[in-house]
Amino acid sequence: MKNMKPFISMLFRWQPSRETLAALAAGLCVIGLSAAMLPFKSIPWASIAVRDMGQIFLVGILFPLTCIQRTGGNWAGFGLHFKKWRIFLSVNLFLGALLLLLFLSESPPPTGFSLNYTRIWTALYVMLALCFELVFFYAFLRTRLEQAFGMVPAIMLTALFYAFHHIGFQPEYGKLIFVGLLYAAVYRAGNSALLIFPFFLGVGGLYDVLIQSQVVSPVLHPAVRTMILAAAFLATGIWLWRKTDAH
């Protein structure tokens, strides 16, 4: 039984902390900001500001990365590293190819589908939104929840937070809970973002938004939104790099 204790402790534990509460509060904030989009459906730019600046950038990117940096910058502990990158990227590419084949067989693109100007910018916007999902849900929130409650509750709770953060633009909770479980489990298998991004996560997100989903809200003004988010992400990356380099 003594040999089982470390294994059980890895799966389930009870060690919540202030960091746990901060992560949970951020998760609830992400869901709340998504719900806040609903009253602004008739005011597109207000909804866009809530989604892009509030949910994706401020809470989804800036907050978790700042928290990691301020608590020692243990990026590898959150799966944000390049260890075994050849192996992990190969697995990532293989899983992405399998997922694409599954999508093509079950819900092929409609006749005449092509990548026009709007769809290309939409695809770029979706990839930036997927960076937010990668950093916030699978790297930051899942890791904090695992530190507090163990691997199994962390994966399950992450999937729930992931699913319900779509409340304002894609309310397909059953499907999204499964998707969240899948990506969180694969991420945790090697504790590496390179196991799901860019191929595995990219195929799932792009195919869903561009082709498969029947309820996802259209991405309005994708070119402008992509450029603004890209600039915000780049500025955050430079700021964190300078902060880390200064220490």
pTM: 0.95
Give the residue among 15, 22, 125, 17 at the shortest CA–CA distance from 64.
Answer: 22
Residue 58 CB neighbours (<10 A): 14
Ramachandran class of 73: left when φ > 0, alpha when ψ lies in -120 to 50, beta otherwise: left
> For the chain, what is the radius of gyration of the CA atoms?
18
Residue 235's identity, in one-letter code, is A
- Residue by residue, DSSP assigns 181-238 as HHHHHHHHHHT-GGGTTTHHHHHHHHHIIIII-SSSPP--SHHHHHHHHHHHHHHHHH
Per-residue pLDDT tens, the chain, 247 aa: give them: 567 788 888 999 999 999 999 999 999 999 999 999 999 888 999 999 999 999 999 999 999 999 999 988 899 999 999 999 999 999 999 999 999 999 999 999 998 889 899 999 999 999 999 999 999 999 999 999 999 999 999 999 999 999 999 999 999 999 999 999 999 999 999 999 999 999 999 999 999 999 998 889 899 999 999 999 999 999 999 999 888 765 5
